[in-house]
Amino acid sequence: MEVHSRDYRARARRIITETPEVREAVNNATRTFVDHRREAFADCDENALSGWAEGVKSHALTHLADYLEEAEARLVERGAHVHWAETASDVHQIFEGIVREHGVRRVVKAKSMLSEELGLNPFLESCGAEVFETDLGEYIIQLLGESPSHIVGPAIHKSLDDTRVIFHERLGTPRDASPETLAKAARGLLREAFLTAELGVSGGNFLVAETGSIALIENEGNIRLSTSVPRIHVALVGIEKVLPKWADLSTFLQVTAKSATGQPVGCFVSIIQGPGGSTGGEPDGPEELHVVLVDNGRTRVLADPEVWEALRCVRCGACLNICPVYRQTGGHAYGYVYSGPIGAVLGPGLVGLEEMLPLPFASSACGACAEVCPVRIPIPDLLHVWRQRAVERGLTSDVERSVLGLLTAAATRSRVFGWAGKMAGFFPEWIVRRLPLLQEWSIGRETPRADGPTFRELWDEGIE
């Protein structure tokens, strides 16, 4: 997937000014998620849960190599093929082999953000395969030629009417079709795809080392179908998804679902240990299971003494839903597969800070994301780490550096600061609006006017 994060400012401005309906749709959806999440944790000791989950994930990450080897051994024992991929092109090569060997013509895909990260769909299509996204939200944006705008709800930026229009054009449903009619049309078309596809592709929410289990959470049943009906199943799993023990799984399934959508657990959970069918001695299910363990920048994040904690992320999307900045634009402004606060923390680690600027600055540092994180990733601190590094590496703009340099010079000299504060009050508003840094800030805001004596003057007079 291409990264367009450097255009964040322009993209955000375009979304806000040209498509105000996106902000409305995103606000509605994220507020609903937030309400449901709050209700789901109302009767829980959220602190105890997040503290425990943080501990398990940090333990898994600090013992990651051993657990990956354990998971691999269990999967191989059950007859699964385990592949390791350092980069997107490694993953492509693995898929190319499978597609060629089995003459794959149709692929059904369960929702997987990792597959987006790896640019899998265009690659599979270049191999001559027809690719069907089967999650309803993913299917809608696939028809529209867009990318997911949210980790959990890929199409939350789209309204009912947007879907009516595209389904009318592509599936021939009535222009005023009900959501039920639209879902039924998609079900019919995708059911045919499930029954005829040779290959099913999924991601993996968790990889349990002790049992070699891949766990997947969903609501529609499309993941169960993608991993059960086609003859081959390939699961893409980021190496950071490890859970040490079978006994850890039940709580993570619940915490992730509660945090993502406010459900006690997803309507469907698949816990996959190996291939089914005749290979697994079962009546049906895929004859072949391939598990691809993907690095693609994750070892670089793990090696980072400060940012490695971001790898605890379970991709629940709670930090996106609560973020006042994300809510203004939705995910497309970020120009990267993982948007919102967690994207701004993970992206610079996975891809590189230079490519991801200015995402770590696209935050008001309000700290709400850290409060809702079910694995206690200190997101605001990590954003701050990236901001500091951007300044240290000279990646921020020259203007910004000189202005902040001047400000520092003034603020560390008492008399200069006092004089500058007084002078600021004499600048007419049109000048303030044209000053660097304030220029962007003052769009859509009243420029504050200095009025009367300054604080320092009042202080000298003696404040009553």
Partner 1 sequence: MKRPEQTVRPSVNSGTRASSEPKHERGQRVSRDARERILNRVRAANRDREPVSHPGPLPEAAEPPGPFGEAGRADPVGSFESCLRAAGGEVVRLANEEAARRWLEEFAGGFESASVCTGVPDALHPALPGVPPSEAALGVSLAVGAAAQTGSLLLSSKEGRRSQLLPPVHLVWVRAEDVRTTLGEALQACREDLPATLALHSGPSKSADIGQILVTGVHGPGRIIAAILGAGGVRS
User: Which residue lies nearer to partner 1 by CB, 299 or 396?
Assistant: 299
Minimum gap (Å) between residue 284 Cβ and partner 1: 5
Say if residue 200 is exposed, middle or buried (CB neighbours under 10 Å; 0-12, 13-18, 19+): buried
- Would you count residue 256 as binding partner 1 (CB under 8 A)? no
Minimum gap (Å) between residue 244 Cβ and partner 1: 6
User: Which residue lies nearer to partner 1 by CB, 195 or 365?
Assistant: 195
| CA-based R_g, the chain, Å | 25
Minimum gap (Å) between residue 352 Cβ and partner 1: 5
- Would you count residue 385 as binding partner 1 (CB under 8 A)? no
User: Which residue lies nearer to partner 1 by CB, 189 or 410?
Assistant: 189
Q: Which of residues 390-429 bind partner 1 (CB under 8 A)?
A: none
Q: Which of residues 51-90 bind partner 1 (CB under 8 A)?
A: 51-52, 55-56, 58-59, 61-65, 68-69, 78, 83-90
Q: Which of 18, 43, 451, 464 binds partner 1 (CB under 8 A)?
A: 43
Q: Which of residues 351-370 bind partner 1 (CB under 8 A)?
A: 351-352, 355
User: Which residue lies nearer to partner 1 by CB, 128 or 324?
Assistant: 128
- Would you count residue 180 as binding partner 1 (CB under 8 A)? yes
- Only one of the segments 345-353, 381-389, 433-441, 449-457 lies at the binding site for partner 1 (rule: CB under 8 A); that segment is 345-353
Torsion of CA 305, 310, 312, 318, to 10 degrees: 160
- Would you count residue 246 as binding partner 1 (CB under 8 A)? yes
Q: CA–CA distance from 310 to each of 301, 380, 383 (Å)?
A: 8, 11, 11
Minimum gap (Å) between residue 106 Cβ and partner 1: 16
Taking residues 291 to 310 in sequence order and writing x for each that binds partner 1 by CB under 8 A, - otherwise, the string is: --x-xxx-x--xx-x--x--
Minimum gap (Å) between residue 181 Cβ and partner 1: 9
User: Which residue lies nearer to partner 1 by CB, 337 or 370?
Assistant: 337
User: Which residue lies nearer to partner 1 by CB, 130 or 432?
Assistant: 130
Q: Rounded to the nearest 5 degrees, what angle is found at the Cα of 369, between the Cα atoms of 361 and 337?
A: 65
- Would you count residue 317 as binding partner 1 (CB under 8 A)? no
Minimum gap (Å) between residue 105 Cβ and partner 1: 13
Q: How far apart are CA 320 and CA 336, in angstroms?
A: 14
Q: How far apart are CA 305 and CA 282, in angstroms?
A: 46
- Would you count residue 220 as binding partner 1 (CB under 8 A)? yes
Q: Rounded to the nearest 5 degrees, what angle is found at the Cα of 269, between the Cα atoms of 267 and 273?
A: 165
Handedness of CA 48, 50, 56, 62 (dihedral sign): negative
Q: Which of 10, 126, 431, 439 binds partner 1 (CB under 8 A)?
A: 126
Q: Which of 22, 109, 142, 153 binds partner 1 (CB under 8 A)?
A: 153
- Only one of the segments 160-168, 390-398, 400-408, 437-445 lies at the binding site for partner 1 (rule: CB under 8 A); that segment is 160-168
- Would you count residue 200 as binding partner 1 (CB under 8 A)? no
Q: Which of 28, 364, 388, 408 binds partner 1 (CB under 8 A)?
A: 28
- Would you count residue 227 as binding partner 1 (CB under 8 A)? yes
Q: How far apart are CA 199 and CA 182, in angstroms?
A: 26
Q: Which of 114, 136, 260, 375 binds partner 1 (CB under 8 A)?
A: 136
> How many chain residues are in contact with partner 1, going by CB under 8 A?
129
Q: Which of 22, 29, 370, 382 binds partner 1 (CB under 8 A)?
A: 29
User: Which residue lies nearer to partner 1 by CB, 239 or 319?
Assistant: 239
- Only one of the segments 9-17, 248-256, 363-371, 416-424 lies at the binding site for partner 1 (rule: CB under 8 A); that segment is 248-256
What single-letter amino acid sits at 77? E
Q: Which of residues 323-342 bind partner 1 (CB under 8 A)?
A: none
Q: Which of 144, 189, 271, 450 binds partner 1 (CB under 8 A)?
A: 271
- Would you count residue 97 as binding partner 1 (CB under 8 A)? yes
Minimum gap (Å) between residue 354 Cβ and partner 1: 9
Nearest residue to 208 via CA among 71, 83, 312: 71
